[in-house]
Structure 1
């Protein structure tokens, strides 16, 4: 697909009866893109025009996996835009990728909006990744309705939303460093946390303080939004954090234990994989969760009702 070119994959693009036109824009990592695509098709399946903005690199990977992605029969149309990096740049450097996207994509998004609107199918709503505060600013400037789609775990969301309270209560400082020993209970419905559970302290190329400022920015973006869409369903209460959720709450996985050097070895991974495959209880729990998820998005399910309500609000 050419830069910024809109694929003709929405057969109803000329139908002026569409009351709303939603534009989705996702961070270009699989854990973000995949839920966004599923959301896009759920919305399009309700008769809403949907345009999905994605980077050229992520779009190429999608096309390699699903060659019919841009087929005219599809209800979602894709717009591929540059991420600002060269073909030789390593996109596994999330810090570099995020900085580049933040620099170039706001301009590309404005261009996409201009092109789409010139067709006569005015974009009326933007659904953005919480990392993209600039997308929300564009929506506000153009007086468009907008929402944030949270693709990660509910416990992580709870932690980020509580950043101001953690600072106010003296649990962490303004750089995200822990000021107390012991565990912190954010809510009766959530397992207690230690400082090691603060996601900005996870190892990586970025410093803990840099990561904390990044997550604080996400918290401010979500505080501004009128609608927060989440990638789970109501029946999963109470909410847990990632590892606690998988291993202790839903019992559909096993925790990986690092060695004395803090490294998770390939032998540990193999041992847990063998245990996982042989565990009938984990298999049964996974199938139960799958059934619950399918029920939630079926007609009359909790997620289906919430999505219908959201679309109804966007029409007003």
Structure 2
């Protein structure tokens, strides 16, 4: 009987890491692989991944080392707790899983982690298990991190990751110019930056750095190291997303069904970005000003409470507001006209795959880099500009949305990039071939 590869998938416990790794796990099972998916106990309680349990994907858990009352939106706190708690427990878990696999010889033979979980590759390495990284950000973000030692040596950034001066740099001849204030660790403190440097050394244990991208989207970044392997876009068309940390409100799909084609403005800032109340008010009034149907995701916090108040003058009569929603379904709906996005990589790749024009509103980390790809390289969207007070005004929101909706060149680019990206995933496409190459390597 043929031995199937058995993967242990370990995401960092935030939505933007869990989703792509779960999608990758589902794709692996279509190739006959077996996957054990490791959640922290806290994340597992929040998600519905038990619904995925079948003979190909099994969900297991370990504690993250924090108390139930601890604030898990403090990413640094979660990272440090996991790193001090989970490594010893993981060795035991792998032993227990493998002990059950003696009869059919399906022991774990590859660990796939997302960024911040590189320590698990060290555990696997000691046990003689192969390892790979699934990068939840863009290949360009990872390429920037690869170049940190050189950037310090060339005095472009200091030892804490801060630019020595604002300038545009090119980390490789085929990568677009990058503003040094837009490097992915933008705004991080020294502890976080040191953690990234350490993590880059640890993930070198991975034979492959799998990227949720395609060669045509980021050719220069893919070329920066032989470890890079583009296998995206990882778009699984599930009926619903059972790895979501918030309950998805599917009534918005029924609402979209009643709207005219390409008429709805979709607004979502992902699972981590936080907007302040004054800026929230300006966005609400900007949507009113547009006088077009809109679908706005106003995310609750971890306790399922929405902490925003709508301005008194906000009408919202043309729109629908929900707490969380099935984004891939929304972006592929014929009613969607454009996407006001924080430009997180998952949202970016989903929007590109759906052929939807972007209005870019980045908040943190790699989102500024993704915005520059959308606006300057792929040319499938426009950026919102802040005023002299650091705010994005309601007038600016109205202006940019109307500009995108009237721009035939942007619409044409959206469709062109969509077609190129989808062609990578079909049988015989480059991403599809890379995925099969990776599975063969594990075997």
TM score, norm. by length of structure 2? 0.60
Q: Are 1:83 and 1:100, in contact at CA under 8 Å, matched by a contact in 2?
A: yes
Matched, 1:86 2:67: yes
SS at match of 2:178: coil
Per-residue CA deviation, residues 181-225 of structure 1 (Å, 9 max, x unaligned), is 5322212222222331122233xxx52x22321221232123333
Counterparts of 1:224-263 in structure 2, within 5 Å, are 224-239=205-220, 241-263=369-391
Distance 1:258 1:25, change over 3 A: same
More strand by share: 2
Separation in 2, partners of 1:107, 1:76 = 23
State the Cα distance separating 1:254 from its structure 2 match: 2.6
Separation in 1, partners of 2:171, 2:145 = 11
SS at match of 1:127: strand
Separation in 1, partners of 2:430, 2:409 = 26
Separation in 1, partners of 2:67, 2:396 = 37
State the Cα distance separating 1:252 from its structure 2 match: 2.9
State the Cα distance separating 1:88 from its structure 2 match: 2.9
Q: Are 1:239 and 1:245, in contact at CA under 8 Å, matched by a contact in 2?
A: no
Counterparts of 1:62-211 in structure 2, within 5 Å, are 62-63=47-48, 68-70=51-53, 72=54, 75-120=56-101, 121-202=106-187, 207=189, 209-211=190-192
Q: Are 1:254 and 1:276, in contact at CA under 8 Å, matched by a contact in 2?
A: yes
Unaligned 5+ runs, structure 1 = 1-15
Separation in 2, partners of 1:270, 1:28 = 36
Q: Are 1:18 and 1:49, in contact at CA under 8 Å, matched by a contact in 2?
A: no
Matched, 1:301 2:429: yes
Separation in 2, partners of 1:57, 1:271 = 42
RMSD of aligned C-alpha atoms?
2.6
Q: Are 1:62 and 1:69, in contact at CA under 8 Å, matched by a contact in 2?
A: no
| Partner residue, 1:8 | none
- Provide runs of 4+ in structure 1 moved above 4 Å: 263-284
Number of corresponding residues: 292
Separation in 2, partners of 1:60, 1:266 = 39
Unaligned 5+ runs, structure 2 = 222-368
Separation in 1, partners of 2:394, 2:82 = 34
